[in-house]
Chains A and B, each alone.
Chain A
Amino acid sequence: MMERSATVGKWSIQRKLFLIILTTLLASLALVTIGLVGYELSTYRSRLTQEVTVVGEFIAANSAPTLAFDDAQTAQQTLATLRGTQSIAFAALYTADGRLFASYSRVGQEPIAAPPRPGPPGLKFTDRKLELVRTVEQKGLQLGTLYLRADMASVYTRLRNYIGIVFVVWLAVGGGTLLLQRLLQRSVSEPLLELSSMAERIAGGDLSVTVPVRSKDEIGLLASAFNRMSGELANSYKDLEENRARLAGIVATAMDAIITVDAERNILLFNSSAEAMFRCPAADALGSSIDRFIPSRFEEAGAAPQGALGELNARRLDGEEFPIEASISVLGVEGGRLLTVIVRDISERKKWEEAIQASENRLRRAEEIAHFGYWKCDLDTSQMTWSDEAYRIHGFTPGSFQPTMRRYRDLVHADDREHFDQAMKRGEHHNFQYRIVRPNGTLRYLTATTELLSNEKGDAVALFGTFLDSTEVRQAERDLQEKNAELERFTYSVSHDLKSPLVTVTTFLGYLEQDMASGDAVRIEKDVHYIRSAAEKMGVLLDELLEMSRIGRLINPPVRVTFRELIDEALLAVAGSISERNVEVRVSGDTFLYGDRPRLMEVWQNLIENAVKFMGDQAAPRIEIGFEDVGGERIFFVRDNGVGIDPRYAEKVFGLFEKLDAKSRGTGLGLALIKRIVQLYQGRIWVESEGAGRGSCFRFTIPGALRGVDAAAEEPARS
């Protein structure tokens, strides 16, 4: 069945149409023929009967005269008119007595013997013939009998004619159809052919064809639809072509490497950037495995869905490894998957990242080391951004709070706020200073600079600045200033106190000259005395100055010594004055000390000297030397019952060159010297006195000389 329809399917429309028409026509003709024939056959009997009856009647009527007149010839002629009918095969006329009068036979008819006697009148169908017998009458008088015999011959003839006609018609139809085909061709199959050949051309790739639309029927619709379709196709194809070209352009010019691989990871596409990146020509790369270039991790990624792969290591053709960033997209195609990998060489970027990171680290470290922070303040929002060190400088952990200009003002020391506000208003400011108070209450000095940042239009958008914690510097500056001031005081004092004795010397030399000239011995002695004492004073002064300058450096290596040892030495040095003044000395306690022995000894020596010197009128001069532990400190003391010190001047006593008694010997350096020594041992010294005549008690601490010695634990044996 299939085969047959396949074969039929191959026939052209032309042929199919032709056959359809032909078959239709012929079929209908056949049907008509059959109909007619059938009708004929089915009605011939009645028709024949009718015909014969009518003819009989007619012939009878016509033959009546002939019989009446016994005109056999005319009767013969009358019967001969039956020639006109096909169906009457034989006719015979009988007289009334039954004798054959006339007869007729159809031309070509096989002679039929006339029945000798006519039968009874009536019709009789026998065996395909019809016999009619009727009377011939005239005015009611039977004259004779008519016998007619009809047969199928006419029918057959008729039928034969029909068939002949049909046959002819069939031929005509066939021919006509052939002619008709021409018309058909023009209006149906030609356009269809045209259409189909256009389709062929389009299929072959030629999209420029359009089919002329010549009619408004289905073919016309088909043609215009066809045109539309081919137009659409042409557009789609153009778009496709454009996309393809664009894609190819992108792939070719992309700065990133684009590699497409199949499911087995063989390279199908290797763009020019890939060639450059991996230093491998495409011809070499195509067909090989991508593992050459992007080893190992790619395997896992290959199984994963598409997306960014992050950072990997890739390998150039020569084996050099370099860092890349890659992303994969997956495309399912017939027969498998295509993976497209886009690769970017990030070695440059990584280098820059590292450099930036290193630079940032250096900056951060530099910030930390220099106690330097930077900040930025957005002028619109008053929001500030601080660097880590900026937070630390202000006593906060980095990022612990969001700084704003207002909150910052609160950090500024109250006294400096106005100054700060002005600087901020001004915008640009170099090195203005202010104090801040850290959350823990400590004060820091800051040196800040600011700069205005503007946008392209020139409007100020932000303030950018740096803080420098200059507290230490300030402190150092202050210390330096103090030292300088002290140096100045010192120099001033020195020049003054050296100049004084010098004036004495020169002046009294002058007097001496005079007095020697006048021979005034008393005056001479006085002059010489003044000169000598002035010179001595200068000597002592210079010695003590040298001592003072040395105090800054404890030049002797520290040794361990007992308190008693030092006291004994000091008492020995002042022994003369002590015995002269008859001073009682009481010493109590003992402890270990560790430090510069001569310096430490000097402390007690000076104190004892002073104590003796300022005994005044004291009848029972007494000096007490010892130490007490008070409030966790070991406090040494030297107490005397001498002239005492006016409490108003208790502080001054330790000043450089300060002497409370002008007449006393000494340069006024002693106590300043001691104070220096005590300070070098991180201690302090002060004097307590209730006033004139009430004695005085010098107290001091030297914690630095007690370190290195477990003073509390060890008590040297008392002598």
Chain B
Amino acid sequence: MRGEPINVLLVEDDPAHAEIVKRNFETFRIANRLIHVWDGEEALDYLYRRGKFSDSKDSPRPGVVLLDLRLPKIDGLEVLQTIKSDPDLRRIPVVILTTSAAEADKIKAYDSYASSYLVKPVDYAQFVDLMEALGYYWLAWNDFPFEPEND
């Protein structure tokens, strides 16, 4: 079990859903920093430290990416594929967090080397449980290779 807090990049276009994740992370004090971007373009800009994220201090490398599938500008799947085909970024685990339970989406996600696929539950209690488990699993239990930039 690791103790160091890590950075989480949340890629989510729905403000309400982003709010839910934020609140949960606060509750469970999981992350050091939760960075929220609104679409696929921003997500890649962040990871490549370009555009409005050129300042590396403001854009620390995330330890895990929470990725919604349906995103404006650049689709979630495309973001996933870009990350996983880049030798520099592909070690970052990408967890799909989406409302879609469609089989096709799951297949495509795993085919593109998604590390996990989570479906947002419609039930409040379940969502809370999920967030908690998510936090503990990925941030507490899961181990990462040492990355010097990881602050």
Residues of A at the B interface (CB closer than 8 Å) are 492, 495-497, 499-504, 506-511, 526, 530, 533-534, 646, 649, 652, 657-663
**Chain A residue at smallest Cβ distance from B13:** A662
CB-contact partner of B123 in A495, A499, A506, under 8 A:
A506
Q: A509-B124, A660-B73 are in contact. Are A500 and B99 (CB under 8 A)?
A: yes
Cβ of B23 < 8 Å from any Cβ of A? yes
**Quick check: is B106 within 8 A (CB to CB) of the other chain?**
no
Measured CB to CB, the nearest residue on chain A to B131 is A507
| Inter-chain contact B100/A492, CB cutoff 8 Å | yes
Instruction: Give min CB distance, B10 to chain A, whole Å.
Output: 13
On whether the beta carbons of A661 and B122 are closer than 8 Å, the reply is: no
Are A663's CB and B121's CB within 8 A?
no
Nearest chain B CB to A367 CB, angstrom units = 44
Say whether B14 faces chain A, with CB atoms less than 8 Å apart.
yes
Residues of A within 8 A of B127 (CB): 503, 506-507, 510
Least CB distance from B11 to A in Å reads 10
Which residues of B in the span 57-71 have a Cβ within 8 Å of any Cβ on A? 70-71
The reply to whether the CB of B15 lies closer than 8 angstroms to some CB of chain A is: yes
A492 to B99, CA, bound (A): 11
**Contact among B71, B73, B100, B122 for A506, CB-based, below 8 A:** B122
CB distance from B70 to the nearest CB of A (A): 6
Give A459 to B124 CA distance when docked, in angstroms. 77
Q: Which residues of B contact A508 (CB under 8 A)?
A: 16, 20, 124
Determine the chain B residues whose CB is within 8 A of the CB of A497 once the complex forms: 70
**Taking the complex as formed, is B53 at the interface, i.e. its CB lies under 8 A from any CB of chain A?**
no
A533 and B38 contacting across the interface, CB-CB below 8 Å: no
| Residues of chain A contacted by B121 (CB below 8 angstroms) | 503
Q: Which residue of B lies closest to A527 (CB)?
A: B19
Does B23 lie within 8 Å of A496, measured CB to CB?
A: no
**Chain B window 102-127, contacts with chain A (Cβ cutoff 8 Å), 1 for yes, 0 for no:** 10000000000000000011111101
**What chain A residues lie within 8 Å of B70 (beta carbons)?**
496-497, 657
Closest to A533 in B: B16
Most B CB within 10 A of own CB, among A506, A526, A533, A657: A506
A511–B122 alpha-carbon span in the complex (Å):
13
Q: Are A646 and B73 in contact (CB under 8 A)?
A: yes
Using Cβ atoms and an 8 Å threshold, which residues of chain A touch B124?
Answer: 506-511
Tell me the bound Cα distance from A586 to B63 in angstroms.
52
CA distance in complex: A500, B119 (Å): 11
Interface size class of B (residues with CB under 8 A): 20 to 34
Residue pair A662, B100 in contact (C-beta under 8 Å): no
Q: Which of A503, A510, A534, A663 contacts B38 (CB 8 A)?
A: A663
| Interface set of B (CB-CB < 8 Å, partner A) | 13-17, 19-20, 23, 38-39, 41, 70-73, 99-100, 102, 120-125, 127-128
3 A-B pairs closest in CB distance: A510-B124, A662-B13, A504-B16
Nearest opposing residue in chain A for B42, CB measure: A662
A657 CA to B69 CA, complexed, in Å: 13
Q: Are B23 and A663 in contact (CB under 8 A)?
A: no
B128 touches A530 (CB 8 A): no
**Bound-state Cα–Cα, A506 to B13, Å:** 18
- Which residue of the partner chain, among A511, A658, A660, contacts B23 with CB atoms under 8 Å? A511
CB distance B16 to A662 under 8 Å? no
Would you call B100 and A530 a contact (CB within 8 A)? no
A492 touches B72 (CB 8 A): no
Inter-chain contact B73/A534, CB cutoff 8 Å: no
Choose from B14, B41, B128 the contact partner of A504 (Cβ within 8 Å): B14
Bound-state Cα–Cα, A646 to B73, Å: 9
Query: Can you sample 14 A-B contacts with CB below 8 Å?
Result: A495-B100, A495-B102, A496-B99, A496-B100, A499-B99, A499-B122, A503-B121, A506-B123, A507-B16, A508-B20, A530-B19, A661-B39, A662-B15, A663-B38
Residues of A within 8 A of B14 (CB): 500, 504, 662
Q: In the complex where A492-B102, A660-B73, A662-B39 touch, is A534 in contact with B16 (Cβ < 8 A)?
A: yes
Q: How far is the CA of A570 from the CA of B19 in the complex (A)?
A: 36
Residues of A within 8 A of B13 (CB): 659, 662
The CA-CA distance from A492 to B70 in the complex, in Å, is: 11
Q: By the criterion CB–CB under 8 Å, are B72 and A659 in contact?
A: yes
In the complex the two chains form, is B128's CB within 8 Å of A663's CB? Answer: no
Chain B: CB-nearest residue to A662: B13
Contacts of A504 on B, CB cut-off 8 Å?
Answer: 14, 16-17, 20
> Is the Cβ of A662 less than 8 Å from the Cβ of B122?
no
**Chain A residue at minimal CB-CB distance from B41:** A646
Q: Which residues of B contact A530 (CB under 8 A)?
A: 15-16, 19
Chain B residue contacts of A646, Cβ below 8 A: 41, 73
- By the criterion CB–CB under 8 Å, are B120 and A503 in contact? yes
How far is the CB of B147 from the nearest CB of chain A, in Å? 29
Q: Of B15, B120, B125, which one neighbours A663 at CB under 8 angstroms? A: B15
Q: How far is the CB of B36 from chain A (nearest CB, A)?
A: 11
Q: Which residues of chain B come closer than 8 Å to A509, judged between CB atoms? A: 124
| Interfacial chain A residues near B73, Cβ < 8 Å | 646, 649, 652, 660
Residues in A with CB closer than 8 Å to B123 are: 506
Chain A residues within 8 Å of B120, by CB:
503
Separation in Å of the B135 CB from the closest CB of chain A?
A: 16
